[in-house]
Amino acid sequence: MSVNSTDNKAIFVGDGSTDIFPYTFKIYAESDLIVERVTIATGAVATGVLDTHYTVSGEGTETGGNVTTIGDWENTSALYKIVIRRKLPLTQEIEFVDNVGTPAATYKEGFDRLCMICQSLQEQIDRSLLRDPTQTSAITFPGASANKLIGWNTAGTALENKETLDEDVLASAAALLVDAQTAATNAQTAATNSTNSANAAAISASEASAAQANLAAIIDTSTDLGGASASDAKVPSQLAVKTYADTKIAIPASGARGDILYHNGTNYARLAKGTDGQFLKIGANDPVWATVLTRQLFTSSGTFTAPAGVTEIYVTLVGGGGGGNTGEDGNNAGSGGAGAQSIIRLRYPVIAGNNYTITVGGKGAGGVAPQDNGDDGGNSSIADGTLGTIIAYGGKGGASFVAGAAVVFSPNASGATSGKLNGIVGGNGALKASTLIGGGGGGSAFGIGGNGGSSAAGEDASGYGAGGGGAGKGAGGQDYDGGDGAPGFVLIEW
């Protein structure tokens, strides 16, 4: 059978009791139907789910079948409409093989499916907005925008979002117009009903004229809204408000997506959008884009090459901590090593492309039993800059009966301009606490000194630049090693 009918949709209004809704066109599978429930009051459309909101019978039948609503769609009330539409998948699944006969029914089904797809598309087109036949281009709708109206542009060539008029102004104007119209109507009615109402008609006409005059009086076209003529009894016109605002807020016309608008104290200006990795901060007066500091940490000696465009860096240097002492003659506990000097975020001029020698102070090793002083910690430095060589001195190692001492300051290299750099001085190592307990290592700005050993080896320092603990003595005269100091580091930021 061919497709002799253009029917491909059925619409029903609920009555609170009917659940079976017939359709009179052919489908091939249950999924060939779309069933929708439309709220009559709002037009909201809900698309049903097969076997959840409805079931289908009659697939493959030329005369159609039934849709039965189930679940929360059962007994559809008069508040809703049920819409049944045929919508076949836009695919072609018939395979034709060379030199093999194909039954006519196969061709028929293929052609019928194409015809049904065309009918479905035509049904959708019939519900679309169309321009008149004389037009040759499509309509493009602007994007959604809150509180805007869609209308033609001034050239009448495209649709655009338009500003809505101020509701308060429209309401005041409408009220005055209604008053004027009412007065005029009263005058006409009086003249029609009685020839003796001529005076009353004249008075009504006068009232109407006064109302119109009052309307004109409250519309203020002056652009000096805040001047001497300003009044609470007047409503500025739209053009007057725009003209006044343009003189007070001079927003730059040019710009690009991502620009930031700010006030520079005189008028509004635009700041071009930044690049990836930048953040916004306040400069001397106005907002500016800035780049997050880049860091390079040296835990071993090496070379720093100043990047392109960099003329100044911040340098943090920490020397190595001194090692702890083993003790003396098998009878006394050892002394702790001293903490190293720390110089934090020193501004250091550089030349882009130049190399700068970085030296990282190593840790002072603890003394080795039976009798040994702790080693001094190494110095950390940066060299070859306009400030010369900047040194953060390492802590002294603990010695027999002498606690490790921290360096008070480090002199600059020859030609330096900033004098002595005290930085943060590390802590002194401690003397033995008793014949059995060693002295603790001195701390640094970035590390904690090792504890002295109690009838045990001195503890190693932790972090950076701290001194190792002195060794304790065993009750039987056993010897122990002193603790190692912590190494230094050099941190460069730009």
**Phi, psi for residue 307 in degrees, rounded to 5:** -65, 165
Give yes or no: residues 279 and 321 share one domain: no
pLDDT band at 167 (very low <50, low <70, confident <90, very high): low
Q: Which two tokens stand for residue 276?
A: 């990836």
Structural domain contains residue 218:
no
Q: Which two tokens stand for residue 414?
A: 């020859």
pLDDT for the residue numbered 170: 59
Give yes or no: residues 320 and 432 share one domain: yes
pLDDT for the residue numbered 385: 63
Give yes or no: residues 265 and 401 share one domain: no
Q: Which two tokens stand for residue 289?
A: 């884009």
Q: Cβ neighbours of residue 108 under 8 Å, at least 6 residues apart?
A: 2
Q: Cβ neighbours of residue 4 under 8 Å, at least 6 residues apart?
A: none
Q: Is 316 helix (H, G, I), strand (E, B) or coil?
A: strand
Structural domain contains residue 168:
no
Give yes or no: residues 426 and 312 share one domain: yes
Structural domain contains residue 189:
no
pTM: 0.44
Give yes or no: residues 280 and 413 share one domain: no
- Average of per-residue pLDDT across 263-275: 87
Summarised one tens digit per residue, pLDDT across range 432-488 is: 656 678 889 999 999 999 999 888 899 999 999 999 999 888 666 677 899 999 999
Summarised one tens digit per residue, pLDDT across range 25-38 is: 999 999 999 999 99
pLDDT for the residue numbered 406: 55
Give yes or no: residues 401 and 271 share one domain: no
On average, the pLDDT of the chain sits at: 83
Give yes or no: residues 452 and 470 share one domain: yes
Structural domain contains residue 373:
yes
First-last CA distance in the chain: 83
Closest by Cα among 433, 420, 232, 213 to 332: 433
pLDDT for the residue numbered 433: 59
Structural domain contains residue 447:
yes
pLDDT for the residue numbered 210: 73
Comparing 18 with 280, the larger pLDDT belongs to 18
Lowest mean pLDDT across 99-113, 211-225, 326-340, 404-418: 404-418
Comparing 287 with 138, the larger pLDDT belongs to 287
The domain total for the chain is: 3
Summarised one tens digit per residue, pLDDT across range 58-84 is: 999 999 999 999 999 999 999 999 999
Structural domain contains residue 442:
yes
| Distance separating alpha carbons of residues 395 and 407, to the nearest angstrom | 7
Give yes or no: residues 273 and 303 share one domain: no
Closest by Cα among 493, 494, 492 to 380: 492
Q: Is the pLDDT of residue 165 over 60?
A: no
What are the C-alpha distances in Å from 381 to residues 351, 355, 378, 415, 484?
A: 18, 14, 10, 16, 21
Give yes or no: residues 349 and 375 share one domain: yes
Comparing 39 with 236, the larger pLDDT belongs to 39
Structural domain contains residue 243:
no
Give yes or no: residues 409 and 471 share one domain: yes
Domain that holds residue 69: 9-91+104-126
Give yes or no: residues 464 and 422 share one domain: yes
Give yes or no: residues 360 and 420 share one domain: yes
What are the C-alpha distances in Å from 340 to residues 160, 325, 383, 450?
A: 72, 17, 19, 13
Summarised one tens digit per residue, pLDDT across range 236-253 is: 888 877 777 766 666 676
pLDDT band at 382 (very low <50, low <70, confident <90, very high): very high
pLDDT band at 424 (very low <50, low <70, confident <90, very high): confident
